[in-house]
Amino acid sequence: MDRLARAMAASGLPHALCVALAREAVADGPEAWTEHAAIARAEHARRLLLTPVVNATGVLLHTNLGRAPLALAHPPSAVNVEFDLTTGERGSRQAAVGSLLARTVGAEAAMVVNNNAAGVLLVLAALAHGREVLVSRGESVEIGGGFRVPEVMEQSGARLVDVGTTNRTRLADYRRALERRGADVALALKVHPSNYRVEGFVEDTPVAALAGLPVPVVADIGSGLVDATCPWLPGPPPAWLAGEPGARQTIEAGAALVTFSGDKLLGGPQAGVIAGRADLVAACARHPLARALRPGAHVLLALQDLALAYLGGRVVEAVPFWRMVAATTTDLRARADAIVATAGHGEVVDAEAVPGAGSAPGVTMPSVAVRLAGDHLAALRAATPPIVGRVRDGATLLDLRSVDPADDPHLTAALRAARR
């Protein structure tokens, strides 16, 4: 066992972990007792650890790769997470970041939980427990990872009331349901479908129309686009964002609350944001679930920096996702040409990138990639750092739109290795 543990030491894993892996190898039988098998076991364990990777898939918000790339800097010191520096007394975890996010989207108040599913769950539990919530049949959806509106509704203690039909739901359908159910109805919930589209003979009811109902309208806009006009980008909003709801516009249209993700189009860490009327946000903050779903200091610090970047007009400079979006194909082609010329391998081709993470489904944005004949995905994943690309039509594509320019040397090195 000592021999096997020593063989595993080159993996860089702690000695105690190597010893544990060696014990597992001994228990597995003689086939696992060779040094080669021990090294392979340690390497497998090491590769299961979280590590930075180069995202060359062309999926900007790749759920399996952590969605929005963002530097998280938590100083090795105490942080006034729940301490009021003015009074010296206990403060609110939500006050600072909540007020900044509220200003960012034009809401009265906002609070943060650990993801958007948690935000929807908390809103329903705090505002509709034991009562009914109107949802269009066409919006009673499942979105990634098992997030199903009916099941979240059930867990919250609210009761789902289907309104309209799968493809067409009109304002009259909501009004009819309210007439029949009266005071039992607590909310109308509008859910942006996010990762799919229904086309053809379809009709839905916009938030502006629903806002005239005698119950609060909660809009789960999902992807977290702050402002549909994208004032931080030069020129008009990208065509691929057409139809994607902005938090600011949804609140202006009359939504009492909006919920959205922090790690999608917002470009921040994994989090969920609840924004809107101050009394409703306060009711959510008072609910016992709020403590179970609250984020830690590192998330709050990251969201604080993010909100300050939006408010300060520094989005493209400070938010990696929007920097990737803003890159021109001219710039991407110049980078690809330099990589291929330096590596002496590969060819530069046009490509199509996608937002990813269920944002703006079915749309693409022009991009540029480096193409290698054949499937090199396994070799690229074995590189340091690992590089994740995609295969299409028997060739490997490394899409530059989703790659930080600082990682271009890693692509160059990988292309050189592939040439050998």
The pLDDT tens digits of the residues spanning 358-393 come to 777 778 999 999 999 999 999 999 999 999 999 999
| Residues in CB range of 409: below 8 A, 6 or more apart | none
Least confident of 7-21, 163-177, 304-318, 353-367: 353-367
Q: Does 178 share its domain with 296?
A: yes
Average pLDDT over residues 12-26: 92
Nearest alpha-carbon partner for 201 in 223, 225, 232, 168:
168
Residue 145 has pLDDT above 90, yes or no: no
pLDDT tens digits, residue range 66-116?
999 998 877 789 999 999 999 999 999 999 999 999 999 999 999 999 999
Residue 197 has pLDDT above 80, yes or no: no
Domain that holds residue 408: 54-68+322-419
Q: Does 58 share its domain with 42?
A: no
pLDDT at 194: 66
In a domain, 29, yes or no: yes
Beta strand pairing status for 257-261 and 217-222?
parallel
pLDDT: which is higher, 38 or 200: 38
User: In whole angstroms, what is the distance from residue 175 CA to residue 325 CA?
Assistant: 41
pLDDT: which is higher, 204 or 369: 369
Residue 227, domain CATH = 3.40.640.10
Q: Does 273 share its domain with 381?
A: no
User: In whole angstroms, what is the distance from residue 35 CA to residue 19 CA?
Assistant: 14
- Using alpha carbons only, how large is the chain's radius of gyration in Å? 25
Residue 196 has pLDDT above 70, yes or no: no
Query: End of a domain among 318, 346, 380?
Result: 318
Q: Does 328 share its domain with 280?
A: no
Q: Does 214 share its domain with 193?
A: yes
In a domain, 79, yes or no: no
CA angle 191, 361, 327 (to 5 degrees): 120
In a domain, 81, yes or no: no
List Cα–Cα distances, 34 to 62, 95, 208, 284, in angstroms.
38, 58, 69, 58
Q: Does 102 share its domain with 22?
A: no
Q: Does 392 share its domain with 311?
A: no
Q: Does 271 share its domain with 362?
A: no
Q: Does 333 share its domain with 258?
A: no
CA 185 to chain centroid: 31
Total domain count for the chain? 3
Residue 142 has pLDDT above 80, yes or no: no
pLDDT at 141: 79
Residues comprising the chain, all counted: 420
In a domain, 77, yes or no: no
- Is this model's pTM higher than 0.85 or not? yes
Average pLDDT over residues 298-304: 95
Q: Does 215 share its domain with 113?
A: yes
Joined tokens for residue 376: 């090199």
Joined tokens for residue 410: 């890693």
Query: End of a domain among 256, 286, 318?
Result: 318
Q: Are 188 and 217 in contact (CB under 8 A)?
A: yes
pLDDT at 195: 59
The sign of the CA dihedral 149, 186, 224, 202 is positive
How many angstroms separate the most distant Cα atoms in the chain? 77
User: In whole angstroms, what is the distance from residue 38 CA to residue 320 CA?
Assistant: 40
| List of E strands, 122-181 | 132-136, 142-143, 147-148, 159-163
In a domain, 83, yes or no: no
Q: Does 136 share its domain with 241?
A: yes
Residue 407, domain CATH = 3.90.1150.180
pLDDT tens digits, residue range 236-251?
999 999 889 999 999 9
Contacts within 8 Å (CB) and 24+ apart, 31-37:
33/4, 35/3, 35/4, 35/7
Query: End of a domain among 289, 318, 347?
Result: 318
In a domain, 34, yes or no: yes
Average pLDDT over residues 136-163: 85
In a domain, 76, yes or no: no
Kind and range of the H or E run holding 188 = strand 185-191
In a domain, 188, yes or no: yes
pLDDT at 143: 67
Q: Considering the chain, what is the average pLDDT of its residues?
A: 93
Q: Does 232 share its domain with 362?
A: no
